[in-house]
Amino acid sequence: MFRSNLFKKISGKNLVDKDQLKIVYFLSLVVGLLSAFAAAFLKNAIHYTHLFMTRGITDEKSGFLYLAFPITGMLLTLLFVRYVVRDNISHGISRVLFSISKRRGYLRAHNTWSSIMASTLTIGFGGSVGAEAPIVLTGSSIGSTIGRFFRLNSKSITLLIGCGAAGAVAGIFKAPIAGIVFVLEILMLDLTISSIVPLLISSVTAATVSYFLMGDKVLFSFNITESLVVGNIPWYIVLGIISGLISLYFSKMTLFLEGSFEKVKNQYIRLIIGGSVLGLLIYIFPAFYGEGYDTIMTLLQGDSGKIFYSNISVNLADNYLLMFGFLAGLILLKVVASSATNGAGGVGGIFAPTLFIGGITGFLVAGVLGNLFQLELPDNRFVLAGMAGMMAGVMHAPLTAIFLIAEITGGYNLLIPLIITATIAYITTRSFEKHSIYHLELAKRGELITHDKDKAVLTRMNWKKEIETDLKTAGPNDTLGDLIRIISKSKRNIFPIVDEYNILEGVVSLDDVREIMFDQEMYKTTYLKDIMTVPPTYIDIRENIEAVMEAFRKTGAWNLPVLDNGYYVGFISKSRIYSTYRELLVEYSEE
């Protein structure tokens, strides 16, 4: 009965009146609540899996066991995904973006639990990735599933997806503002009155539940008390530039390495290669085992000596160059560890690796600058600023980076260094790469939704559905008389001319034969190949909507043929495209 009443109120309508908004407010609270429970469950599942696997392990045998654990977890993940889920659940945030831009907010219901299980196996066994992308996919799927259950329109479903993502980030980091800003920057939802309130409800609900379930035990429990030293501002600018360049390296290497793994078609060979690489890296750099947040906490607490522990018997702490090389290795090779994990079949995100590299970068920059210029730079502040800079550069989300680090550390008096480092890092990375690692592949395919309303509407449009396939065709050797008989049975004024292999050779329009169509003496002597015209261009069925609109703009045509590797498919009309565009624009816009 409750669902039936909701259908009457909200099905197929824009959410503008008070009753409808109340329904969305209530659903956003539910989505935030469920997202927070999912985040808490995932963090605890990873934590206790890690404890179970490492319990009783001594230093003498830890190295060899850490070689076996990650590949075991990735094998279990691979089998789970292949035989239980039977769907691709990697790259969670990119999948959310794709669902918003091209699938009208549709995410498969299994994503509400499958990413949790897969990432628990991957990360709990030592995979060098983060749990944030899987939990964002989980929260977004919860929003999508609830929205579709109540048959909301696509705009409302998209809003609930944003609520799920905001709730997931707020729940896992205990950072409600960062959760909201994440949705606006990464998922590119428009900031309007009708959208901000549900996001606030979901995000605050999730953060509150996170406090209730886990207290202060949410990734970081660290407070900044020192005041800002104005003289250190130039060094935060230096850190921002370095973080931006390392962000660019991280993004390019991640795409390159994961692309290289995809070229290996056999999944089990990928598993062996990726597992071997990861195991070797963990053996040399134990800090690569798992998410890496323990290493960041070690740096923040001033106990940096612990991170120089290695399974290789080399005394690092007494040699400055070896310490520098070790830290540089952590920065440069973490991307290899995370890419090997995902490429081998594991499920996890780059959120945690990004923060890990940022923290190490900040610590290393502070140390190098301090030694070069005899400065006393606060390590913990540079660790936090480095994390913000790296996140801003990799994700192209400076506001998310600023508020996330400020919220999870209680370090709002660190706001100025965070803003400086994050902004400089973002500008540096953006100078070389227009899109973030989450958006790049979608942008290349023209499937990325943006804050530009026109582009957003075009991105949502599936122009292939507008192809008209009901046009009557004729052959080049058919006569005018044959065409007249076709015209008598057709309601269209365009007639594609195709050969015996369905290859388009030309077009005859009603205007082309209007003056001769009643001259019966020409019926048997006039062939269509002699009167057909060649279209000004054609559209390949694989083109994106931008290419379609550009073809219409350049030719000035109202109808263009659509081909598939040269074979005739149908026609697309400018008027039909514009009509669909107007319908989507009305749906997308606020009333």
User: Can you read off the two tokens belonging to residue 491?
Assistant: 């309601």
Distance (Å, whole) CA 182 – CA 179:
5
Distance (Å, whole) CA 491 – CA 81:
50
Lookup result for tokens 């365009």: 494
Q: Per-residue b/e over 538-564, b at no fewer than 16 CB within 10 Å?
A: bbeeebbbeebbebbeeeeeebbbbbe
Which has the higher per-residue pLDDT, 252 or 408? Answer: 252
Q: How far is CA 203 from CA 25, 30, 168, 225, 257, in A?
A: 12, 11, 8, 26, 34
Beta carbons within 8 Å of 230's beta carbon, 6+ residues apart: none
498: which strand partners?
504
**What 3-state class would DSSP assign to 458?**
helix
Q: How far is CA 66 from CA 70, 160, 458, 575, in A?
A: 7, 40, 49, 62
Contact (CB, 8 A) for 359 and 299? yes
Average pLDDT over residues 533-542: 88
Task: State the pLDDT at residue 460.
Answer: 66
Instruction: Write out pLDDT tens, residues 109-145.
Output: 999 999 999 999 999 998 999 999 999 999 999 999 9
Average pLDDT over residues 192-217: 84
Distance (Å, whole) CA 135 – CA 345:
18
**Is residue 170 scored above 90 in pLDDT?**
yes
**Is residue 58 scored above 50 in pLDDT?**
no
Task: State the pLDDT at residue 12.
Answer: 41
Average pLDDT over residues 178-183: 92
Instruction: Write out pLDDT tens, residues 261-290.
Output: 989 989 999 999 999 999 889 888 888 988
**Is residue 206 scored above 50 in pLDDT?**
yes
Contact (CB, 8 A) for 107 and 145? yes
Which has the higher per-residue pLDDT, 411 or 532? Answer: 532
User: Can you read off the two tokens belonging to residue 205?
Assistant: 């609900």
With both helix axes pointing from N to C terminus, report the angle between 415-432 and 398-409 in degrees, rounded to the nearest 10: 150
Report angle CA 292, 293, 298 to the nearest 5 degrees. Answer: 105
Which has the higher per-residue pLDDT, 488 or 183? Answer: 183
Among 206-215, 332-341, 490-499, the range of highest mean pLDDT:
332-341
Rounded to a whole number of angstroms, the CA Rg of the chain reads: 29
Distance (Å, whole) CA 88 – CA 81:
7
Task: State the pLDDT at residue 401.
Answer: 94
Distance (Å, whole) CA 506 – CA 497:
5
Beta carbons within 8 Å of 250's beta carbon, 6+ residues apart: 335, 350, 353, 354, 357, 390, 393, 394, 437
Instruction: Write out pLDDT tens, residues 14-49.
Output: 434 455 667 888 999 999 999 999 999 998 899 888
How many CB atoms are closer than 10 A to CB 66? 22
CA 206 to chain centre: 21
Which of 161-175, 317-331, 558-572 is predicted with the least confidence, judged by mean pLDDT?
A: 317-331
Indicate the pTM of the whole model.
Answer: 0.78
Beta carbons within 8 Å of 46's beta carbon, 6+ residues apart: 119, 120, 123, 124, 131, 290, 291
Task: State the pLDDT at residue 586.
Answer: 61
Which has the higher per-residue pLDDT, 440 or 200? Answer: 200
Domains annotated for the chain, with CATH where assigned, are 2-214 (1.10.3080.10), 230-450 (1.10.3080.10), 457-588 (3.10.580.10)
Band of residue 151 on the pLDDT scale cut at 50, 70, 90: confident
Scanning 433-516, the segments in alpha helix (DSSP H) are 440-444, 453-460, 480-488, 510-513
Average pLDDT over residues 511-518: 81
Task: State the pLDDT at residue 62.
Answer: 55
Task: State the pLDDT at residue 1.
Answer: 42
**What 3-state class would DSSP assign to 569?**
strand
Task: State the pLDDT at residue 11.
Answer: 43
In this structure, what are the phi and psi dihedrals at residue 467, rounded to the nearest 5 degrees? -65, 130
How high is the mean pLDDT of the chain? 83
**Which amino acid makes up residue 290?**
G
Contact (CB, 8 A) for 128 and 290? yes
Task: State the pLDDT at residue 455.
Answer: 59
Band of residue 556 on the pLDDT scale cut at 50, 70, 90: confident
Characterise 345 by phi-psi region: left (phi > 0), alpha (psi -120 to 50), beta (else).
left
**Which amino acid makes up residue 19?**
D
